[in-house]
Amino acid sequence: MPKWEIVFEPRVDLRSRGLLDLIVEVEAFKRSVLKIPLPPKFREKIDKINIIRQIRGTTGIEGNTLDEKRIETVMTEASDQTMSALSIEEREVLNAEKVHRFITEHAKKNASGLITEEMVKTIHALTTDSCDYKN
């Protein structure tokens, strides 16, 4: 099975004094923020907001028009038993949530971060589950 190596190499000239100063400032803020303890309930709330926004962005790229409030409603009120009663946009939301959970669990179990062909196939199957896309 072929393995793919993905390398991110930004092409930024760090000799530019203004840019370097900004990068140092961002790094200092990041380190400060990471030291702030978050109460569990607040962390859960932030995580939920971020997941909803990720799902909105991911499904929005494909043309899904549901807003964050509707996405939250679908995530909290819909279930697999009601998939056939949901619109395709609502099914896409639930599928994106499944993909998010799958990737989160995969990352916990696989520190290497290796992306395999089987993983891509699983993500594709989760993404398109119960969605009869034409063509």
Q: Identify the top-confidence range among 8-12, 13-17, 121-125.
A: 121-125
pLDDT digits (tens, 9 = 90+) for 20-30: 788 889 999 99
Please tell me the predicted confidence (pLDDT) of residue 81.
67
Query: Mean pLDDT throughout 10-28?
Result: 78
> Rounded distance, CA 124 to CA 99, Å?
9
pLDDT digits (tens, 9 = 90+) for 74-120: 999 987 667 888 999 999 999 999 999 999 999 888 888 788 899 99
Query: Mean pLDDT throughout 6-10?
Result: 72
Amino acid at 129: D
Cβ-based neighbours of 84, under 8 Å, separated by 6 or more:
130
Nearest to 124 by CA among 86, 95, 97, 101: 95
